[in-house]
Amino acid sequence: MKIVITYGTYDLLHQGHINLLRRAKALGDYLIVGVTSDSFDRERGKLNVRNNVLERVESVKATGLADRIVIEEYVGQKIDDIQKYEADIFAIGSDWEGKFDYLKEYCKVVYLPRTEGISSTLLRDSTQQIVRLGMVGTGRITHRFINEASNVSGLKITSCYNPNEAEAGAFALRHGLNPFSGKLDYFLADVDAVYVASPHTSHFDYVRQCLKSGRHVLCEIPFVLDGREARELYELAAAYGVVLLEASKTAFCPAWTHLLTLVKSGVIGKVVDVKSSLSKLLPETDRREFDPMQAGGSVTELAPLCLMSIIKLLGTDYSEVSFYSKMDKGVDIFTKANIIYENATASMTLGLGVKTEGNLVVSGTRGYVLVPSPWWLTNYFEVCYEDQNQNKKYFYTFQGDGLRYEIREFLSMIFNDRPSSFLLRAKESVAIADIIGKYRRGYQTKILK
Ligand code: C2G
């Protein structure tokens, strides 16, 4: 019996796929089809797959051409499968010509003619709803956001808003957008959704206006600087039936979400402690990050991601929080916070004027997870045990600036009418803002000399 094996995503299954499967089947007597898993597709940057893996398996099965279907989960699995199933031929479309020659060591490799004029991408784009997005703020991160957004389908960035007309105009000219700088309502009339990336202290008002105009909002971190404001905004979003999401990029990246599922599944036993650190020594101190009038300081600049990691791992029901800060020119250049739960402890170490190792350590009753610095650009972590031979290393790609993952989740919530994201729930964003608010009110804070 001659066994043929082939692989694909098979999203929105179409005639090109069917032709390929038919041609592959004709090469032998038995056809194995590998269908990529959702996480594997995300891993390899295919963020816009419309059908989930079960739907894609079902559609391949319905062709009646596959004698066996396997799920492709990881890079290198093709080699394992070819040996495991003793495949004689690996076949794939000619768009991959040469890319799988390394498999010739294991079996015959055949590149089959690709069907021109049809692809999952074309189908996705032709049926894709488009969200017109406007950007409030034209600072550093907004340039990166535009680049990242080009990797996510279903989004068209149309406008930018900055009260300073010259800045709005320059940004719009550079990126081919419509500039707005007067009344926000004119800007809002031009968009369906807004990315708020203005200075911290203006987030609350902008987000509230956008929500009340029925626009979806993705707001940069720090979302808002007080739990009460956060709660009010999520209540507004619910009342107006629009999406509100905190742009805490790490919360949406594949490596982090997998780390979370591993820990929640008990691989290190019960989590007893979380240590999360983030420091960024900035060259000059005449920037907004050091300006108390612009809510500068280590907590407002760096706490959101560390608090996200602690709250996603331990929850929002902490019993107490205390802070230790080193101050300079009216802002905290260093803050350590202890967040105590009934059955666990957590600490975060933040520094704009103090350098530390930016890692994340999750300590459990059976082992621990170590995410080396920069843990928040998660692309590698290790699950460690007393017997180091049991340690497991996990590697991921962290595509670009990592903003594409939050953008994709934001769009998915809009398209699927999903008011909340399990990746970062409203109550978790509120808890993050609440801790920042406590700090800003001087709650339980010891100032270091
Ligand atoms: N295909 C084709 N003609 C098209 C579109 C796709 O022959 N018009 C073929 C592809 O060459 C591939 C198979 O159909 O052999 C599945 O295509 P995709 O679903 O796009 O899968 P792909 O992303 O190419 O992944 O590990 C997965 C493999 O690398 C293939």
Specify the 3-state DSSP secondary structure of 21: helix
Task: Determine what percent of the chain falls in helix, strand and coil, rounding each to the nearest 5.
Answer: 40, 25, 35
If one residue of 37, 114, 118 were mutated to test the ligand 1 pocket, choosing by the most ligand atoms within 8 A of its CB, it would be: 114
Could you tell me if the CB of 115 is within 6 A of ligand 1?
yes
Measured distance CA(79)–CA(129) in Å, rounded: 38
pLDDT of residue 100: 97
Question: Residue 180 — left, alpha, or beta (φ > 0 → left; ψ -120 to 50 → alpha)?
Answer: beta
Could you tell me if the CB of 118 is within 6 A of ligand 1?
yes
If one residue of 4, 7, 25 were mutated to test the ligand 1 pocket, choosing by the most ligand atoms within 8 A of its CB, it would be: 7
Q: Amino acid identity of 35? A: V
Measured distance CA(177)–CA(190) in Å, rounded: 11
Measured distance CA(380)–CA(372) in Å, rounded: 8
Measured distance CA(292)–CA(329) in Å, rounded: 8
b/e map of 285-313 (b: 16 or more CB within 10 Å)? Answer: eeeebbbeebbbbbbbbbbbbbbbbbbbb
Could you tell me if the CB of 227 is within 6 A of ligand 1?
no
Residue 151 CA to ligand 1 center (angstroms) comes to 19
* Strand-pair partners of 4: 31, 89
> 419-426 — which CB contacts under 8 Å span 24+ positions?
419/237, 419/238, 419/241, 419/243, 421/245, 421/252, 423/251, 423/252, 423/257, 424/245, 424/246, 424/248, 424/251, 424/252, 424/308, 424/312, 426/234, 426/237, 426/244
pLDDT of residue 208: 98
Q: 426-440 and 298-314 helices cross at what angle (nearest 10)?
A: 140
Residue 315 CA to ligand 1 center (angstroms) comes to 41
In terms of Cα–Cα distance, which of 202, 193, 234 is closest to 406?
193
Q: Which atom of ligand 1 is nearest to the CA of 91?
A: 15
Q: What is the DSSP letter of 292?
A: G
pLDDT tens across 265-303, in order? 999 999 999 999 999 998 777 788 999 999 999 999 999
Exposed/middle/buried for residue 114 (C-beta within 10 Å: 0-12, 13-18, 19+):
middle
Could you tell me if the CB of 60 is within 6 A of ligand 1?
no
At residue 258's C-alpha, the angle toward residues 252 and 259, to 5°, is 100
H runs (alpha helix) in 105-150 = 120-127, 140-149
Could you tell me if the CB of 121 is within 6 A of ligand 1?
no
pLDDT of residue 42: 83
Report the nearest-CA residue for atom 24 of ligand 1: 8
Q: Which atom of ligand 1 is nearest to the CA of 116?
A: 8
Q: Do residues 271 and 307 touch, judged by C-beta distance below 8 A?
A: no
Q: Which atom of ligand 1 is nearest to the CA of 17?
A: 14
Omega before residue 222 within 30° of 0, cis: yes
Domains of the chain: 3-123 (3.40.50.620), 129-249 (3.40.50.720), 251-400+410-448 (3.30.360.10)
Residue 26 CA to ligand 1 center (angstroms) comes to 17
| pTM of structure | 0.83
Report the nearest-CA residue for atom 17 of ligand 1: 8
In terms of Cα–Cα distance, which of 151, 155, 148 is closest to 133?
155
E-state strands within 296-443: 320-328, 331-340, 345-351, 360-364, 368-371, 380-384, 392-395
Q: Which atom of ligand 1 is nearest to the CA of 117?
A: 8
Token duo for residue 410: 């934001």
Q: What is the pLDDT along the chain (449 residues), one digit of tens a residue?
A: 999 999 999 999 999 999 999 999 999 999 999 999 998 888 888 888 888 999 999 999 999 999 999 999 988 999 999 999 999 999 999 999 999 999 999 999 999 999 999 999 888 888 788 999 999 999 989 999 999 999 998 999 999 999 999 999 999 999 999 999 999 999 999 899 999 999 999 999 999 999 999 999 999 999 999 999 999 999 999 999 999 999 999 999 999 999 999 999 999 999 999 999 999 998 777 788 999 999 999 999 999 999 999 999 999 999 999 999 999 989 999 999 999 999 999 999 999 999 999 999 999 999 999 999 999 999 999 999 999 999 999 988 888 899 999 999 999 999 988 999 999 999 999 999 999 999 999 999 999 99
Could you tell me if the CB of 349 is within 6 A of ligand 1?
no
Could you tell me if the CB of 36 is within 6 A of ligand 1?
yes
Could you tell me if the CB of 72 is within 6 A of ligand 1?
yes
pLDDT of residue 248: 98
Look at the block and give the residue holding tokens 């340039």: 143
At residue 219's C-alpha, the angle toward residues 184 and 157, to 5°, is 65
